[in-house]
């Protein structure tokens, strides 16, 4: 009887899982609703999801990191209710095995990727319309919207990060398309998305993510082309790509007054930074305070950390007697994980990244292989400047996309 119920319940839950790709760029309320539906699938497919943990190395590494955060919620001075509240922000890591199980069918994977690119396409069109003043700000739009920062549904950081990855996927599709029409469509999508990231929206992390993804796209595309023709591909060609990337950065910097101003402000704020200036500190100055003060907390709690959820109190104690501004996260996921769980948690995060990079060549197609490694590149950067896995939208995006690509892992896993 339970198998019959599961066979009826699971297909619509698979669709709900795929539709998270549509909700992610648009609505937190909608993706939470869909997550609740997906969670129902665990009651009918627990054995299948647990089997994914046992057999899929990415699911296992993701679940191990979440397990370490769960263990760290049990120690430290933070009340257990608060600790588990913060643990809930990392729950997306625990969803990876269930997502992978739901993505076992090709049509579900195709739908998930398609609706994500559709949602980003809608975001792109609306962002251009806002930039060209074709319509004004609406109540449902992001509170981060400004006349010079045409974000639509999320913050400029989140929109730019997702848009950079959408541009990368569009480039991969343009590369792999066999006919002229889809090549033109995906090429136009990629070009418009790149312009949106580099010249319109202010998320500086997105600039760097996009640059590295463009480098990775060039590297892997040229490498595959050379290898297909039986030619050698090595470090000399990599140097050419790096020089081209440097020229692209320089050209963009000189041609974009918005980027020129943003980078100039960043450099000036870095030069003017003095520790713990308080409200007089600049945006960059605040982040440098976060980093240096958090590093000192880690130094005193190197092996076990302060416990999941213990960062705000530990940080407040650290800045006691200074003018530094309190914060609930250090805007760096490596620091955030380490300060809560110690070195072991950091090693588990790095192991998750290592695992994704290592097994990516075993995926079903060159497209999936390059997309998976591109996702990892994006998050290595994102986590350097934001507590990306702690943030709901960015954390869910990582879990969702990781599951989407690594659900196609071949049977001959290492």
> Do residues 222 and 233 lie in contact, with contact meaning Cβ atoms separated by under 8 Å?
yes
Measured between its terminal Cα atoms, the distance across the chain in Å is 37
CA dist 373 and 188 (Å) reads 23
CA-based angle 96:405:329, to the nearest 5?
50
| Structure tokens, 336 | 């955030």
Q: Estimate the share of the chain in helix, then strand, then coil, as percent rounded to the nearest 5.
A: 75, 0, 25
pLDDT tens digits along 116-130: 999 999 999 999 999
- Region 243-257: mean pLDDT is 64
> Do residues 203 and 156 lie in contact, with contact meaning Cβ atoms separated by under 8 Å?
yes
| Structure tokens, 137 | 């700000």
Confidence at residue 414, expressed as pLDDT on a 0 to 100 scale = 42
- Residue 39 pLDDT > 80: yes
pLDDT tens digits along 45-57: 778 888 888 899 9
> Do residues 197 and 160 lie in contact, with contact meaning Cβ atoms separated by under 8 Å?
yes
> Do residues 220 and 360 lie in contact, with contact meaning Cβ atoms separated by under 8 Å?
no
- Residue 267 pLDDT > 60: yes
pLDDT tens digits along 225-248: 666 665 655 555 556 666 666 666
CA dist 253 and 267 (Å) reads 13
- Region 346-356: mean pLDDT is 97
- Output the CA torsion sign for 195, 199, 202, 206: positive
Looking at per-residue pLDDT, the higher value among 141 and 182 belongs to: 182
- Residue 413 pLDDT > 90: no
Lowest model confidence (mean pLDDT) among 35-49, 87-101, 112-126, 288-302: 35-49
Cα atoms in the Cβ-side hemisphere of radius 13 Å centred on 212: 18
Contacts of 129 by beta carbon, 8 Å cutoff, 6+ apart: 135
Q: Which of 64-78, 258-272, 317-331 has the highest mean pLDDT?
A: 64-78
Q: Which of 164-168, 218-222, 237-241 has the highest mean pLDDT?
A: 164-168
pLDDT tens digits along 361-410: 999 899 999 999 999 999 999 999 999 999 999 999 999 999 999 998 86
Looking at per-residue pLDDT, the higher value among 284 and 237 belongs to: 284
Binning pLDDT at 50, 70 and 90, where does residue 411 land? very low
- Region 85-111: mean pLDDT is 94
- Tokens 């993706």: give the residue: 31
CA dist 274 and 262 (Å) reads 20
Confidence at residue 230, expressed as pLDDT on a 0 to 100 scale = 59
Binning pLDDT at 50, 70 and 90, where does residue 356 land? very high
Backbone angles phi, psi at 149, to 5 degrees: -145, 75
- Region 10-34: mean pLDDT is 93
CA dist 330 and 339 (Å) reads 10
- Residue 2 pLDDT > 60: no
Name the burial class of residue 330, with classes exposed (0-12), middle (13-18) and buried (19+) by CB atoms within 10 angstroms of its CB: buried
Binning pLDDT at 50, 70 and 90, where does residue 139 land? confident
| Structure tokens, 92 | 């997306």
Backbone angles phi, psi at 275, to 5 degrees: -55, 135
> Do residues 120 and 26 lie in contact, with contact meaning Cβ atoms separated by under 8 Å?
no
Count other C-beta atoms under 10 Å from residue 300's C-beta: 9
Cα atoms in the Cβ-side hemisphere of radius 13 Å centred on 272: 14
CA dist 169 and 149 (Å) reads 24
Binning pLDDT at 50, 70 and 90, where does residue 323 land? confident
- Residue 302 pLDDT > 80: yes
Confidence at residue 22, expressed as pLDDT on a 0 to 100 scale = 96
Cα atoms in the Cβ-side hemisphere of radius 13 Å centred on 59: 26
Confidence at residue 244, expressed as pLDDT on a 0 to 100 scale = 65
413: left (phi over 0), alpha (psi -120 to 50) or beta: beta
- Residue 412 pLDDT > 60: no
User: What's the DSSP call for residue 146?
Assistant: B
> Do residues 307 and 83 lie in contact, with contact meaning Cβ atoms separated by under 8 Å?
yes
- Region 34-46: mean pLDDT is 84
Residue spans of the domains in the chain: they are 45-102+284-414
CA dist 38 and 35 (Å) reads 5
Lowest model confidence (mean pLDDT) among 51-60, 95-104, 273-282, 349-358: 273-282
Integer-rounded Cα radius of gyration of the chain: 22
- Tokens 């809608």: give the residue: 122
- Region 338-360: mean pLDDT is 96
């Amino acid at each position: 009887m339970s198998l019959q119920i599961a066979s009826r319940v699971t297909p619509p839950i698979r669709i709900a899982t795929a539709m998270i790709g549509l909700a992610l760029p648009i609505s937190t309320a909608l993706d939470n609703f869909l997550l609740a539906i997906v969670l129902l699938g665990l009651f009918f497919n627990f054995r299948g999801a647990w089997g994914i943990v046992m057999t899929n190395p990415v699911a296992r590494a993701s679940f191990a990191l979440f397990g370490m955060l769960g263990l760290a919620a049990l120690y430290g001075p933070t009340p257990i209710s608060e600790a588990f509240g913060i643990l809930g922000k990392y729950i997306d890591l625990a969803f990876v095995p269930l997502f992978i199980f739901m993505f076992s069918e090709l049509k579900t994977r195709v739908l998930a990727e398609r609706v994500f690119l559709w949602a980003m396409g809608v975001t792109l069109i609306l962002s251009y319309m806002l930039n060209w003043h074709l319509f004004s700000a609406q109540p449902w739009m992001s509170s981060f919207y400004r006349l010079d920062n045409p974000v639509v549904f999320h913050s400029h950081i989140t929109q730019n990060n997702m848009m950079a990855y959408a541009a990368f996927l569009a480039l991969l599709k343009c590369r792999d398309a066999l006919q002229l029409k889809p090549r033109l469509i995906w090429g136009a999508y990629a070009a418009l998305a790149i312009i949106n990231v580099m010249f319109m929206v202010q998320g500086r992390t997105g600039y760097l993510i996009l640059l590295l993804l463009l480098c990775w796209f060039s590297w892997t595309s040229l490498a595959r082309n050379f290898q297909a023709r039986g030619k050698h591909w090595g470090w000399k060609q990599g140097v050419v790509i790096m020089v081209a990337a440097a020229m692209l950065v320089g050209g963009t910097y000189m041609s974009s007054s918005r980027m020129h101003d943003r980078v100039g402000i960043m450099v000036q704020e870095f030069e003017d930074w003095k520790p713990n200036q308080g409200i007089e500190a600049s945006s960059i100055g605040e982040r440098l305070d976060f980093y240096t003060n958090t590093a000192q907390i880690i130094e005193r709690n190197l092996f076990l950390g302060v416990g999941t959820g213990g960062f705000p109190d530990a940080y407040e104690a650290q800045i006691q007697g200074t003018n530094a501004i309190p914060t609930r996260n250090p805007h760096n996921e490596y620091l955030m994980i380490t300060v809560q769980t110690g070195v072991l948690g950091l090693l588990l995060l790095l192991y998750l990244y290592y695992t994704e990079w290592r097994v990516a060549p075993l995926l079903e197609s060159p497209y999936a292989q390059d997309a998976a490694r591109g996702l990892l590149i994006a998050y290595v950067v994102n986590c350097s400047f934001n507590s990306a896995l702690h943030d709901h939208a960015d954390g869910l995006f990582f879990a969702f996309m990781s599951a989407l690509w690594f659900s196609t892992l071949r049977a001959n896993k290492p």
